[in-house]
Chain A
Amino acid sequence: MRADAALRRPRTLSAFSVLLAMQLARARRSWRQYIIVSSAMPSGIAILLRAMTSHPGKVLALQIISGNVVLSVAITAIAMLAQQVAWMRQNRTFDYYHTLPVGNSAVILAILVAYLLFALPGIAVVLTVGALFYGVHLQISWGLIPAILATGVALSGIGALLGIAARDSELAGLTGNLVMMAVLFLGIIPAARLPLLLVALSDALPSTYGVRLILHLLTGQAGSLAWLVDGSMLLLFSVLLFLAVDRLSYRTG
């Protein structure tokens, strides 16, 4: 007869690294899909806008590039993740994780980070295409990593929430695509050219702060007050959205 006297539980970091590796294994079969989807549409939009504007200024060019970087994140983090989470819920895939001694938040965070990492090749392609087609010099700095990470966590939070709330994966995919369109529209068009209502909506989306933060970094304006405000807002969105997902993750059971 054995009871539960000598039970073991994994350390949080060790559990997270295993969970992340398990999520990243998805790329074994789908890596082409992740690269194509996260790079083709943002790069295509950047090229299209370049073809339609005869002399875009440097600021507008960088706004377009930053917006498309965030769009690249949004495609995997919102549209694809929402569908994946809804599918996992529908098929009771979460039951496997919910019967192991690991926290729900570690599972959710691993899925969010994995989908963010799937967007990285697309981001690299968008930056390269943007620099080539717009002929601008991009100030690539280490600061881009936390900026993209925070943007990714916030947008993944939206994707995961859509996946948790949707009735099925089709509906999650549809709403994910609609939110992604909002990110595209409000992220690329400068606030000064938007009607007041859309400016308010834009301020309520974390992607707006992500675009601005990346724009500050690409123009070498890191450290300014605006950079600090945008960075803080993005961080706040990331934390709040992650907590919301963690809180609602019982609905994945």
Chain B
Amino acid sequence: MLAFEIRDLHKTFGVQVHANDGLDFAIEAGEVFGILGPNGAGKSTLVQQMVGLSVPTKGEIRLFGQAVRPHDRRVRATVGYLAQRPLALYDLRAREAVVDTGRLRGLRRREAEEQAAQLLSETGLGDRRDRLVGNLSGGEHRLVGLATALIGDPPVLILDEPTNELDPVARRRVWDMLMRRREQGTTIVLVTHNVLEAEGVVGRVAIMAGGRIAAIGTPSELKQRLHAKVRLEIALRDEVPSIREWLRRGRQVGERSWSLELARGELGEALARLGDPGTSSEIADLRVTSPSLEDVYLSYHDGEVRGIAG
């Protein structure tokens, strides 16, 4: 069963700005789908149309087989949405913001209070529940927003940058919360820049660039496209003149650390060069890694891979 079907979707602002330019893809019910892409790629414009906040210039979006219309109450009841902008309920206490949102989703007061307490505890905001939203830090504010998206247990979640402004502990909590929802069969659409963390959660990913889908597939499918390359990371104790020139092929990431992207066929030669006794004694750390989803993202971002849209 398909949760979302997006067909030939165009969104144009004015005459020149094509925020979404002919998007065509589907999201299965129960899937965790990531939307990655640089700023201005058209990700937020896309999700705003998916929740009915914005009307497509051309094309169609269907949610569980029915067309999404502007201000569609069926969509509103089905989708929990976390916008990129902060939640503007500054004058409510954190607990009230979540309870009231639950009640506006049709929960009875008691149910809303129970779920809100559970969500605030899950997000680590239990001891901040009586603070005004306007007095919370940016990260705490974001977590209240997430709790308002999750209350009422909607079958579909669309979360635009859910881990923005969060510290590592809070980010870990958020990913764990989303994993639990995934196990319950919730369809989750994630817009994120946090490629490394998203890789462990998403089932499929669409990489957007310039309003279009540059690539779509599972993280392993996308990484397969960079299969011919490996990354070699090396840290030296001291300078080694014999490989100084060779290291310049890569990127210097620290005082004596380099990161080199090599074709798989070049790996043997590189390891032989580093195995030289005069060199190997100066190696503090050496790692050879396969491409990550972040490498795939960066390759599209840097324009290295062209014409393989899924």
Q: Give A contacts to B, CB under 8 Å.
A: 1-4, 7-10, 14-15, 18-19, 21-22, 25-26, 28-29, 88, 91-93, 95-96, 98-104, 250, 253
> Could you list 25 examples of A-B contacts with CB < 8 Å?
A1-B185, A1-B187, A2-B30, A2-B185, A7-B155, A8-B107, A10-B104, A10-B106, A14-B103, A15-B103, A18-B100, A18-B103, A21-B100, A22-B96, A28-B132, A88-B88, A91-B85, A92-B83, A96-B148, A100-B101, A101-B105, A102-B76, A253-B54, A253-B70, A253-B71
Q: How far is the CA of A2 from the CA of B76 in the complex (A)?
A: 16
Contact indicator A96/B83 (Cβ below 8 Å):
yes
Q: How far is the CA of A92 from the CA of B87 in the complex (A)?
A: 10
Contact indicator B51/A99 (Cβ below 8 Å):
yes
Q: Smallest CB–CB gap between B170 and chain A, Å?
A: 21
B window 161-214: CB within 8 A of A: 184-187
Q: Identify the closest chain A residue to B99 (Cβ).
A: A18
Q: How far is the CA of A3 from the CA of B63 in the complex (A)?
A: 9
Contact indicator A101/B100 (Cβ below 8 Å):
no
Q: Which one of A2, A18, A22, A101 contacts B155 once the chains associate, using CB atoms below 8 Å? A: A2
Q: Smallest CB–CB gap between B147 and chain A, Å?
A: 13
Contact indicator B29/A9 (Cβ below 8 Å):
no
Given contacts A8-B152, A98-B76, whether A26 and B104 have CB atoms under 8 Å apart is no
B54-69: contact bitstring with A at CB < 8 Å (1 yes, 0 no)?
1000000001100000
**B1 near A: Cβ within 8 Å?**
yes
**B73 near A: Cβ within 8 Å?**
yes
> Is the contact region of chain B dominated by helix, strand, or loop, or is it mixed?
loop
B window 29-83: CB within 8 A of A: 29-30, 51-54, 63-64, 70-71, 73-74, 76-79, 81, 83
Q: Nearest 5 A-B pairs (CB), nearest first?
A: A8-B106, A1-B30, A2-B155, A93-B88, A101-B77
Contact indicator B85/A92 (Cβ below 8 Å):
yes
Contact indicator B88/A96 (Cβ below 8 Å):
yes
**B216 near A: Cβ within 8 Å?**
no
Q: Smallest CB–CB gap between B106 and chain A, Å?
A: 3
Which chain A residues border B87 with CB–CB below 8 Å? 96
**B221 near A: Cβ within 8 Å?**
no
Contact indicator B64/A4 (Cβ below 8 Å):
yes
Q: How far is the CA of A22 from the CA of B107 in the complex (A)?
A: 16
Contact indicator A101/B53 (Cβ below 8 Å):
no
B140-168: contact bitstring with A at CB < 8 Å (1 yes, 0 no)?
00000000100010011000000000000
Q: Which one of A3, A14, A92, A250 contacts B71 once the chains associate, using CB atoms below 8 Å? A: A250
Which chain A residues border B134 with CB–CB below 8 Å? 29
Q: Known A-B contacts: A92-B85, A96-B87, A102-B104. Give 4 more (CB < 8 A).
A: A8-B105, A9-B77, A28-B132, A250-B71
Q: Smallest CB–CB gap between B32 and chain A, Å?
A: 12
Which chain A residues border B96 with CB–CB below 8 Å? 22, 25
Interface centre among A4, A9, A19, A88 (most CB of B within 10 A): A4
**B92 near A: Cβ within 8 Å?**
yes
Q: Identify the closest chain B residue to A28 (Cβ).
A: B91
**B117 near A: Cβ within 8 Å?**
no
Size of B's binding interface in residues, CB under 8 A: 44
Q: Which one of B1, B52, B89 contacts A3 once the chains associate, using CB atoms below 8 Å? A: B1
Interface centre among B29, B79, B104, B106 (most CB of A within 10 A): B104
Contact indicator A4/B155 (Cβ below 8 Å):
yes
Contact indicator B29/A1 (Cβ below 8 Å):
yes
Contact indicator A101/B104 (Cβ below 8 Å):
yes
Contact indicator B29/A96 (Cβ below 8 Å):
no
Q: Identify the closest chain B residue to A249 (Cβ).
A: B71
Q: Identify the closest chain B residue to A253 (Cβ).
A: B53
Contact indicator B91/A29 (Cβ below 8 Å):
yes
Q: Identify the closest chain A residue to B74 (Cβ).
A: A4
Contact indicator B77/A8 (Cβ below 8 Å):
yes
Q: Smallest CB–CB gap between A133 and chain B, Å?
A: 35
Given contacts A96-B89, A99-B76, whether A2 and B29 have CB atoms under 8 Å apart is yes
Given contacts A1-B29, A253-B70, A253-B71, whether A99 and B79 have CB atoms under 8 Å apart is yes
Which chain A residues border B74 with CB–CB below 8 Å? 4, 7
Contact indicator A2/B186 (Cβ below 8 Å):
yes
Q: Identify the closest chain B residue to A24 (Cβ).
A: B91
Q: Identify the closest chain A residue to B132 (Cβ).
A: A28
Which chain B residues border A21 with CB–CB below 8 Å? 100
Given contacts A4-B155, A22-B89, A28-B132, whether A9 and B73 have CB atoms under 8 Å apart is yes
Q: Identify the closest chain B residue to A23 (Cβ).
A: B91
Q: Smallest CB–CB gap between B24 and chain A, Å?
A: 22
Contact indicator B91/A26 (Cβ below 8 Å):
yes
Q: Which one of B29, B53, B107, B184 contacts A95 once the chains associate, using CB atoms below 8 Å? A: B53
Which chain B residues border A99 with CB–CB below 8 Å? 51-53, 76, 79, 81, 83
Contact indicator A4/B88 (Cβ below 8 Å):
no
Q: How far is the CA of A91 from the CA of B63 in the complex (A)?
A: 27
Q: Smallest CB–CB gap between B272 and chain A, Å?
A: 52
Given contacts A22-B92, A95-B85, whether A100 and B76 have CB atoms under 8 Å apart is yes
